[in-house]
Amino acid sequence: MAIIETQPGRAVLRAAIAGNPNSGKTSLFNALTGANLKVGNYPGVTVERREGRVRCNGGDMTVVDLPGTYSLTAHSADEVVARTVLIHERPDVVVDVVDASNLERNLYLVTQLMEMELPLVIALNMIDVARRRGLIIDAEKMSAILGVPVTETIGNRGRGITDLVNVCRGVARQPERVTVRRVTYGHGVDEEVDALTAVVAGDPGLAARYPPRWVAIKLIEKDEEIVAAVRRHARNAGAIERSATESINAIERHFDELAEEVVAEARYGFASGVIRECVTHQDLSRRRMTDRIDAVVCHRLLGPLILASVVYALFLAVFKIADEWRWVFGRSPTGVVDAIFAWLATASMGIERTSPMVHSLWTDGIIGGVGGIMSFVPLIVVMFAFICVLEDTGYMARVAFVLDRALKVFGLQGKSIIAMVVSGGLGGGGCAVPGVMATRVLADREDRLVTMLVAPLMNCGAKLPVYLMLVAAFFPRAQARVMFLLWILSWALALCSAWIIRRFVVRGEPTPFVMELPTYHVPTLRGVWRHTWNRTWMFVKKAGTLILATSVLLWAAMYFPQLDATAHDARIAALQTGSDGAGSPTTEGQAATRTVDTSDAERDLTRKRRAAQLRHSLAGRAGSALEGASRWAGFDWRDNIALIGGFAAKEVVVGTLGVAYALGDVDPGESESLPDRLAADAAWSPLKAFAMMVFVMIYAPCITVQIMTWRESGHWKWPLFSVGYTVGLAFVLAVAIYQIGMAAGWGA
């Protein structure tokens, strides 16, 4: 819109633009005035004053852009400036720019402008945004309710400007046509306002300067500027102040709240009443449905119960569908993957004779590594499909809502629960690999990191065989109780660790409790599939190569250096005679079995060779080297090798223990299982078994989890920290349990 100089003799109308910050005031001001504007400061303050001119048919208008404010109290320089212009310059028309997509807050300012009894026009701006959000605003009805003209605008695109200018001109020319409705403050306040208004109106010094009702309201709000103005201008300031104090006391006695708060609440009440009358939600039926569901789902008592069932169902579904139910050619999905890799391993048996090393690398290193990655895929697919359904339906936001307060104490977030449960938080197995990936539902980086670092403390499915084996061997009559104790311990350690890590390592305020509860939706199959596929592919791509490389490295540590064949048997003999406790004298019967059953003997020899090789390997040497420290927790070199193997995956622990303990064994019979063998071993006791279980629970998340932690956190220092922290904690606790137990005499 072009700007021209005012023609002499023509009255220039004056308009002021008020509105909340970000309501689009500047956009509208620019659209009205073009580029031709005058920028200065308001006297005495550094608040910018911008003025421009609008040319329109039949008369020009100057427009002053007031500072953006939410309110017109005297709390900030902006508010005082805006108020002063409105009171003292008395513009012919005041345009209040209202963000239609954020009506409640914007209407608060509207009520205050209405109180000032100004010739008001409302520019319902951002109407496009409101429409996109499904809000239908009845501008005519709003206009009727408020007694103020309302026109719709889209400021950034200059839409609705001509209408706005016309309406403004109409109001400025004939202000009597606008009858701004009275804002009501409800029973108990209105009476006081009316009484005080009468007192103010009776004072000519004040009434000439200010709208009496506005002064009365401001006095009730204890507005210091107005109190000062009363003292300055009123003929009978003392009487007015006394009346004001009486009114304030009456209101505060009535509501047991500060008078200014009562007034502010009443304005919000008025605003929400206007919204109820004039705004409909396009998806009202859905909104109503959502509210009804939320009344149950976010209920104080029912909410947590429903959450527990949903999370439990998710957990069951993931592990049943992916890992238990045999619904793919008579196998479970992970079973299919395992079978494929087992087949690959057997198919390559031929290489063993010609090149045992290549065979071992192929079966233990490569197939083991790739197979390991691929067997996670069914779990990840099913888990993400379910998480995606939870997110798309809108329930995930409620999970956060229900649990946030409880978990925030520990520096976690409501949604962290998903990762913890998937990692094994329910005690019946689970896996921290999808658990770490499940932290993606958390928006905040710090929350994600802390959750990622503590979720592996849960008892995942790979730790269960270790527990089950040791519990069967040492706590046959207290299996359930010991397992329960381990479950409680894992949660206690995870929550305490979260608190510690949040306090000392990953600082930063937890995200504040601002939560939008979206409407419930039925998720689309396509959406769920796309999400699930993307995340699964990311896992294979990101983790695949690294996991393969590390599993080959670990294989090498257990394979090299090699013992040669004669050294093997010499070593076995030496170790057998030297092994303490385990080597009881050979009875005649056992000797007979040995000679009779040559295949048993052969198998026994193979086992012992493997054990000897293991001890000779790098991992075995490391195990021996660590004995000095590990003895404090009761672990010898054989236990250490098994634990080193557990760095690759916890399920390796049982297998490696089996290999390592084959060495000192004098009974060649296959009948004796590992639990029986350990139970019979003098070096083991229930105390040591418990220390071992606690150690296995805590120490070093498996290599796949570490790689996922690296990938998901974006830095290798986090898996490193995780290993350092968990190994340290595991060692300290295992030593404490073992040493205290020994001192208490439980070590027998």
Establish if 27 lies at the interface with ligand GDP (CB under 6 A). Answer: yes
Binding residue (CB under 6 A) for ligand GDP from 156, 280, 360, 519: 156
Q: Quick one: 154 or 178, whose CB is closer to ligand GDP?
A: 154
Q: Which of residues 531-570 bind ligand GDP (CB under 6 A)?
A: none
Establish if 155 lies at the interface with ligand GDP (CB under 6 A). Answer: yes
State how far the alpha carbon of 37 is from the alpha carbons of 27, 53, 62, 624, in Å. 14, 7, 10, 84
Establish if 19 lies at the interface with ligand GDP (CB under 6 A). Answer: yes
Q: Residue 187: left if φ>0, alpha if ψ -120 to 50, beta else—which one?
A: beta
What whole-number distance in Å separates Cα of residue 453 and Cα of residue 500?
11
Report, in Å, the least distance between residue 79 CB and ligand GDP.
Answer: 15
Q: Is the dihedral of CA 276, 278, 283, 285 positive or negative?
A: positive
Assign 3-state DSSP to the chain and report helix, strand, coil percentages, each to 5: 65, 5, 25
End-to-end C-alpha distance for the chain, whole angstroms: 95
Segment interacting with ligand GDP, rule: CB under 6 A, options 7-15, 125-133, 298-306, 380-388: 125-133
Report, in Å, the least distance between residue 132 CB and ligand GDP.
Answer: 8
Report, in Å, the least distance between residue 19 CB and ligand GDP.
Answer: 6
What whole-number distance in Å separates Cα of residue 412 and Cα of residue 408?
5
Q: Which of residues 49-88 bind ligand GDP (CB under 6 A)?
A: 68
What whole-number distance in Å separates Cα of residue 131 and Cα of residue 157?
15
Place of tokens 């195990």: 623
Q: Are 93 and 64 in contact (CB under 8 A)?
A: no
Establish if 106 lies at the interface with ligand GDP (CB under 6 A). Answer: no
- Our measurement of the distance from residue 117's CA atom to the centroid of its chain's CA atoms, rounded to an integer in Å, reads 47
Report, in Å, the least distance between residue 25 CB and ligand GDP.
Answer: 3
Residue 454 makes CB contacts below 8 A (sequence gap 6+) with 412, 420, 494, 495, 497, 498, 501
Helix (H, G, I), strand (E, B) or coil at 154: strand
Q: Quick one: 98 or 311, whose CB is closer to ligand GDP?
A: 98
- For residue 157, give the nearest of 132, 123, 124, 126 by alpha carbon: 126
Binding residue (CB under 6 A) for ligand GDP from 37, 87, 129, 340: 129
Segment interacting with ligand GDP, rule: CB under 6 A, options 149-157, 184-192, 311-319, 459-467: 149-157
Measured from the Cβ of residue 254, the count of other Cβ atoms closer than 10 Å reads 15
Q: Per-residue x/- mask for ligand GDP, residues 190 to 219, rule CB under 6 A?
A: ------------------------------
* Residues binding ligand GDP: number (CB under 6 A): 16
Segment interacting with ligand GDP, rule: CB under 6 A, options 21-29, 137-145, 295-303, 510-518: 21-29
Q: Quick one: 22 or 184, whose CB is closer to ligand GDP?
A: 22
Residue 511 makes CB contacts below 8 A (sequence gap 6+) with 413, 443, 444, 447
Binding residue (CB under 6 A) for ligand GDP from 71, 106, 125, 197: 125
Burial class (CB within 10 angstroms; exposed 0-12, middle 13-18, buried 19+) of 63: buried
Q: Are 494 and 526 in contact (CB under 8 A)?
A: no
- Our measurement of the distance from residue 617's CA atom to the centroid of its chain's CA atoms, rounded to an integer in Å, reads 44
Please give the single-letter amino acid code of residue 353. R
Q: Quick one: 126 or 367, whose CB is closer to ligand GDP?
A: 126
Binding residue (CB under 6 A) for ligand GDP from 24, 369, 394, 634: 24
Establish if 451 lies at the interface with ligand GDP (CB under 6 A). Answer: no
Q: What DSSP state is assigned to residue 353? A: H
Report, in Å, the least distance between residue 159 CB and ligand GDP.
Answer: 7
Establish if 39 lies at the interface with ligand GDP (CB under 6 A). Answer: no
Binding residue (CB under 6 A) for ligand GDP from 16, 18, 23, 464: 23
Q: What DSSP state is assigned to residue 42? A: -
Establish if 126 lies at the interface with ligand GDP (CB under 6 A). Answer: yes
Residue 213 makes CB contacts below 8 A (sequence gap 6+) with 115, 117, 182, 193, 197, 200
Segment interacting with ligand GDP, rule: CB under 6 A, options 14-22, 165-173, 343-351, 525-533: 14-22
Binding residue (CB under 6 A) for ligand GDP from 4, 10, 21, 732: 21
Phi and psi, residue 281, nearest 5°: -100, 130
Q: Are 308 and 316 in contact (CB under 8 A)?
A: no
State how far the alpha carbon of 69 is from the alpha carbons of 16, 18, 40, 98, 168, in Å. 14, 8, 19, 11, 21
Report, in Å, the least distance between residue 97 CB and ligand GDP.
Answer: 6
Q: Quick one: 27 or 73, whose CB is closer to ligand GDP?
A: 27
Q: Quick one: 130 or 361, whose CB is closer to ligand GDP?
A: 130
What whole-number distance in Å separates Cα of residue 610 and Cα of residue 571?
11
What whole-number distance in Å separates Cα of residue 527 and Cα of residue 542?
22
Binding residue (CB under 6 A) for ligand GDP from 95, 113, 122, 154: 154
- The tokens for 579 are 């092994």
Establish if 273 lies at the interface with ligand GDP (CB under 6 A). Answer: no
Report, in Å, the least distance between residue 266 CB and ligand GDP.
Answer: 26
Segment interacting with ligand GDP, rule: CB under 6 A, options 23-31, 190-198, 218-226, 610-618: 23-31
Establish if 243 lies at the interface with ligand GDP (CB under 6 A). Answer: no
Helices (H), 516-584: 525-559, 565-578
Establish if 22 lies at the interface with ligand GDP (CB under 6 A). Answer: yes
Q: Are 1 and 46 in contact (CB under 8 A)?
A: no
Q: Quick one: 21 or 724, whose CB is closer to ligand GDP?
A: 21
Please give the single-letter amino acid code of residue 732. V
Q: Quick one: 160 or 425, whose CB is closer to ligand GDP?
A: 160
Report, in Å, the least distance between residue 126 CB and ligand GDP.
Answer: 4
Segment interacting with ligand GDP, rule: CB under 6 A, options 19-27, 448-456, 496-504, 565-573: 19-27
Segment interacting with ligand GDP, rule: CB under 6 A, options 154-162, 301-309, 648-656, 669-677: 154-162
Residue 69 makes CB contacts below 8 A (sequence gap 6+) with 18, 20, 21, 76, 78, 79, 82, 109
Q: Quick one: 72 or 251, whose CB is closer to ligand GDP?
A: 72
Establish if 33 lies at the interface with ligand GDP (CB under 6 A). Answer: no
Measured from the Cβ of residue 728, the count of other Cβ atoms closer than 10 Å reads 12
Q: Quick one: 126 or 217, whose CB is closer to ligand GDP?
A: 126
Binding residue (CB under 6 A) for ligand GDP from 49, 76, 117, 128: 128
Q: Quick one: 126 or 501, whose CB is closer to ligand GDP?
A: 126
Establish if 26 lies at the interface with ligand GDP (CB under 6 A). Answer: yes
Residue 600 makes CB contacts below 8 A (sequence gap 6+) with 593, 594, 668, 669, 670
Q: Quick one: 129 or 582, whose CB is closer to ligand GDP?
A: 129
Q: Quick one: 22 or 309, whose CB is closer to ligand GDP?
A: 22
Report, in Å, the least distance between residue 26 CB and ligand GDP.
Answer: 3
Q: What DSSP state is assigned to residue 101? A: G
Report, in Å, the least distance between residue 155 CB and ligand GDP.
Answer: 3
Q: Quick one: 25 or 448, whose CB is closer to ligand GDP?
A: 25
What is the binding site for ligand GDP (CB under 6 A)?
A: 19, 21-27, 68, 125-126, 128-129, 154-156
